[in-house]
Structure 1
Amino acid sequence: MLGEERASATRIRLLRDVGMLFESADVGWLLSERGAATSPSLDELYRGLVRALTDLAALPPCETDSGDLPASAYARVPDVAREVCDVLRVLLGRLAGAEAQAASSPASARAVVRALAAPLCVFAATHVQEQPWSSPESRSAASQLLEAAVRASGSVSVAEFLCGGTPSGEQPGALSAVLRLLRPQMTKESWKRNQATKFVFSWILTRVGRPWLADHLDHVFASSLLISDDYRTENKVLGVKCLQHIVVNVPAADLRQYNRAQVLYHALYNHLYTPEAQLVEVVLPCLLDLLSVLEKPCGSTEMTRRTNRYDQVLRLVLTHMEMEYKLALRRVYARNLAVFAHRMGVVMIRHLKRLERVIVGYLEVSDSPGEQSRLSILDVLEVVLQNTWPRVQSRLGALVRALLKLMCDVTADSGLCSPVAREELLDKATRCLLLLDRYSEGQIRA
């Protein structure tokens, strides 16, 4: 323990000396080429220097299958990372200043900045996030380093720094180099050895949108699938979030090419069998976005009346909803069923019998004080009534009884739910009763 503390203190002193050297050195010396023909180029020298500096704050490797280490294993990383960020920020400041000085070598400085963009971005992304290996001070230093890298590249945002100024590629960004740097760490055998790798990949990915992401689809798609296929729920959630970002930001034609969308559909569909609320909560919205890629809109006049993947997913969701007793999962299912109802519209009539059972069952069970599942299921009922009203007549009695029972329960027991939830429940239940009365030609009032 004492030896580790001394080593950490030695590293910090060394880093401060290097920072003072960069601050006081002449710009011409910093950018001077070595005379020997066998000497590495200037950008190679600086890449090696940055690699050596960032290795001082490298995370300890994880040898276990979980991919996690205890927080105590990272106790000395934040202090060293903060010093490394400060040193690299000073270096970037000197290089950026050299570009503005005609007497110096702006072309050399620009080439060095471009060569350092990828490793600096990966290092900053590692320490800018709130994780066990970071502290408020190291996160602040990493954020400042990232801002310095963005400014030095002539960009105005992280997205422009990664993607470039224009989609045509006239001003290429650092994304290709960043993904090349991450590729050896994102293999099936190595991605768990460094706990930060998956978070860095996700952080980079979610800052790249249309149309740039499509050019890197092969790499980001495979890496996201790899993370989502892990046995740990938190990794599945992170992987699915990455996949949804890809689905939203890549053209549908590219996703359908080589059956990528079909592969993704099967992977997400299988996740629905995992009874974890936090996973189902991200899988269902991702599936809905993907279904719009695989299937025509449900309201399309060209759409055949054959069942498709919308029906397949909805059948499975309704099956799980009928049997589910955990309140957290019931809330997730009810909230996303409302989105399904809006998306599918009149096609919901195929599933009306099972929908009735689910709606009545969810109206009977309270999840106070917020009553989220009941409120969501009332939204579902309203959309279903608006789209399937010709078939409502045969189900009128069961739905009216369920709604009236709900209103009586909520009114009789003032402590059952919060005042705001009670008012919203009564309002939505009343709207559903009015719809039922209208579509039944006044039978309820009669």
Structure 2
Amino acid sequence: MAQHPLLHSLQWTTPEGHGCLERPPAEQVLSQFLQLFASRGASSDAKAGMIRDLLAILEAVDCQWLFGGCHPNAAPTLLRDMVVALSLYAAPPQQEPEGGGLPSGDPSYAAVASRAADVSLGFISIVAKVESAKGLERLGTAVVGPILRQVAGPLYLFAVTHVAERLWTTPKTRRMAQELLDGLLRASDCRSVPEFLRGAREDETGWLAVVMQCLKPELTKDTWQRSPATKHVFSCTLQHVTRPWLGPHLEKVLPPSLLLSDDYREENKILGVQCLHHIIRNVPAADLCQYNRAQVVYHALFNHLYSKEARLLQVVLLCLLDLLPILEKALQRLPHNPQLVTPSDEVLQLVLTHMESEHRLPLRRVYARNLPAFVERLGIQIARHLKRLQRVIVGYLEVSDGPDETARLATLETLKHTIQHAWPRMSCRLAVLLKALLRMMLDVATDRSLTPEPVKAELLQKATECLILLDHASHGQVKVLLQGVRRSCQDETLKECLRKVEEEPVKSISTP
């Protein structure tokens, strides 16, 4: 048998006349491997050779040698140290926080993929031996349990780092990382990644605490930006854990989410806000409000409302819509808190201020798309904002925003909810709103652009519904003001819409 350099250095020999290897203790092999691998004089080629030799060793031995021949406490610790060392060896190259990362064609990424493929083979072999050891009477859970407690976290982090499509992964490394992850799930008696992290039942702890402990050094203010994989691994892990399992880990997942959302790069802000949103939706309100956590999250999100990035604003507004009920309910319980201006009022006031002066279509669509939900959130209290809201509605109905008419359709939905909630205040605003609706309906009916017919039909239908609601809110005044308009109208489509308004009997508005 040919002697590999590592085998030779470990004095792993084949005596003459014997067909099997004379094996030194696993503790000695792992310890010497780590010593050689960590030596300063070891080049990349030398380390690659050591890993190939390690693979040969792992293929030649059984789980009894790997787990059963070592000191009870030494085997798990040495395996963990080896997994961590190899994971660092195959980790994506670090980047400077100010530099924005490495270019996609950087040769360092190709080297990472090559290293990850070799390391994955070794990890897959280790996990397979852990799985085999579970069925052996001499090993069983008494040995497998301590082994998993040491290596499950680092192995999971390595697999998640390389399983998704990233700059440092290839189809081959992603396939091998998935194979490693599947093997780890089988060895842990789990059917899925969420079950692995949270436990199969509510009373089980799962591996999330172990994973977060392994990830903690990489999630500090000074370190998280250096590794391009850290934020993705954290976000992916967090998204797998839902209510009620996430609550006990709030202290571990909230600070990294706030760190991400506070970054200067848009993609990191979006990722951080998405993490915060997941936490808000899956952690009990009482835990969120304890120690003013909800207030901290609210101020972090509120600052993002000044952004001019449409993608960021979209996730921020959705997150705020879920946070505001939790925050305001907690504020209502405070003594001597009159709540004259609620956080919902603050958010809507700022949003309407930005909407009035906004001319960029992507931002107009985002604002308009989320405005109906804020009107529903405030209910009758929307009356506080009617003056500014009216200006926004009129302005957004005047301008077409493209074939899909996203902003106009959403604005009509906003007007509908506003009438339903604040109908006693509509009579004094009837002339302005009626004029804006009729002007928009005429523009749509006579439009000869590329706007699809279904979109035009939906616009006219929603505008007709708003006219009917205005008529109910004003006790039939819309019918009076529309007298003669239908007879002088030349467009048949618009005439049909006006006919529906005139024929609709006046009735009371039921607040939703």
- TM-score strictly above 0.5: yes
Which amino acid is 1:348 matched to? I
Cα distance per residue 1:168-221 (max 9 Å; x no partner): 3xx432111111111111111111111111111111111111222221212211
Q: Which residue number in structure 1 is paired with residue 118 of structure 2?
A: 83
1:162 aligns with 2:197: yes
Measure, in 2, the Cα distance between the counterparts of 1:271 and 1:444: 41
* CA distance, structure 2, for counterparts of residue 296 and residue 104 of structure 1: 54
Question: Per-residue displacement from partner, 1:46-87 (whole Å, max 9, x unpaired)?
Answer: 112212322231111223424512221312222322332233
Instruction: For 1:15-26, list aligned pairs within 5 A.
Output: 15-26=51-62
Structure 2: distance between partners of 1:103 and 1:34: 13
Q: Does 1:356 align with 2:390?
A: yes
Query: Equivalent of 2:455, from 411, 421, 424?
Result: 421
* Structure-1 residue corresponding to 2:375: 341
Q: 1:179 aligns with which of 183, 190, 212?
A: 212
Contact 1:22 1:94 in 2 (8 A): no
Query: In the alignment, does 2:291 pair up with 1:258?
Result: yes
Matches of 1:314 and 1:106, distance apart in 2: 57
1:27 aligns to 2:57 (yes or no): no
* 1:180-195 mapped onto 2 (5 Å cutoff): 180-195=213-228
Q: Match for residue 3 of structure 1? A: none
Q: 5+ residue gaps in structure 2?
A: 1-42, 332-336, 481-512
> How far, CA to CA, are the matches of 2:375 and 2:399 in structure 1?
21
Cα distance, 1:305–1:174 mapped onto 2, change above 3 Å: closer
Q: Which residue of 2 aligns with 1:115?
A: 150
Provide the TM-score with structure 2 as the length reference: 0.80
Query: Hey, what's the Cα distance between the residues in 2 that align with 1:393 and 1:323?
Result: 27
Which residue matches 2:274? 241
Instruction: Report the Cα offset of residue 339 of structure 1.
Output: 1.0
Aligned counterpart for 1:402 among listed residues 418, 436, 444: 436
Shift, 1:33, TM fit: 3.4
Match for residue 279 of structure 1?
A: 312
Give the conservation status (yes or no) of the 8 Å contact 1:338–1:380: yes
> RMSD over aligned Cα, in angstroms?
2.2
Distance 1:66 1:213, change over 3 A: farther
Q: Which amino acid aligns with 2:63?
A: V
Unaligned runs of 5+ in 1: 1-6
Give me the TM-score of the superposition, normalised by structure 1. 0.91
Q: Structure 1 residues 288-297 or 8-17, which shifts more?
A: 8-17
> 1:293 deviation in Å?
0.9
Deviations 1:324-357 (A, max 9, x none): 1111111110111111112222211111111111
Is the Cα–Cα contact under 8 Å of residues 66 and 192 in structure 1 kept in the other structure? no
Conserved? CA contact 1:22–1:91, under 8 Å: yes
**2:14 counterpart residue number:** none
| Residue deviations 1:306-340 (CA, integer Å, cap 9, x gap) | 32111111100000000111111111101111111
Q: Distance in 2 between matches of 1:48 and 1:27?
A: 18
* 2:425 is equivalent to residue 391 of structure 1: yes
Whole-angstrom distance in 2 between the partners of 1:335 and 1:207: 28
Tell me the secondary structure at the aligned position of residue 382 of structure 2. helix
How far residue 109 of structure 1 moved from its aligned partner, in angstroms, is 2.4
1:15 Cα deviation (Å)? Answer: 4.2
Give the percent of matched residue pairs that are identical in Structure 1 and Structure 2.
48
Asked if 1:148 is matched to 2:183, the reply is yes
**Inter-CA distance 330–23: structure 2 relative to 1 (3 Å threshold):** same
1:81/1:386 CA distance change after superposition, 3 Å? same
Rounded Cα–Cα distance in structure 1 between residues aligned with 2:294 and 2:146: 39
* Structure 2 SS opposite 1:208: coil
Query: Alignment partner for residue 207 of structure 1, among 221, 232, 240?
Result: 240
Change (3 A) 1:187 1:318: same
Instruction: Determine the structure 2 residue equivalent to 1:4.
Output: none
Match of 2:408 in 1: 374
2:238–2:253 contact (8 Å) kept in structure 1:
yes
What does residue 219 of structure 1 align with? 252
Considering Cα pairs closer than 8 Å and 6+ residues apart, tell me whether 1 or 2 has the greater RCO.
1
Please state whether the residue corresponding to 1:165 is helix, strand or coil: coil
Determine the C-alpha separation between the residues in 1 that align with 2:329 and 2:443. 42
Distance 2:338 2:427 in 1: 26
2:341 to 303, 307, 319: 307
1:262 positional shift: 1.0
Q: 2:356 aligns with which of 297, 319, 322?
A: 322
Do the aligned residues in 1 keep the contact of 2:258 with 2:276 (CA within 8 Å)? yes
AA of the residue aligned to 1:249: N
Separation (CA, whole Å) in 2 of partners of 1:165 and 1:111: 20
Pairing partner for 1:436 from 464, 470, 481? 470
**How has the CA–CA distance of structure 1 residues 423 and 140 changed in structure 2, closer, same or farther, with 3 Å as cutoff?**
farther
Quote the Cα distance in structure 2 between the aligned partners of 1:148 and 1:307.
55
Distance 2:140 2:283 in 1: 40
Q: Determine if contact 2:289/2:330 at 8 Å carries over to the other structure.
A: no
CA distance in 2, matches of 1:328, 1:174: 42
- Between structure 1 and structure 2, the one with the greater Rg is 2
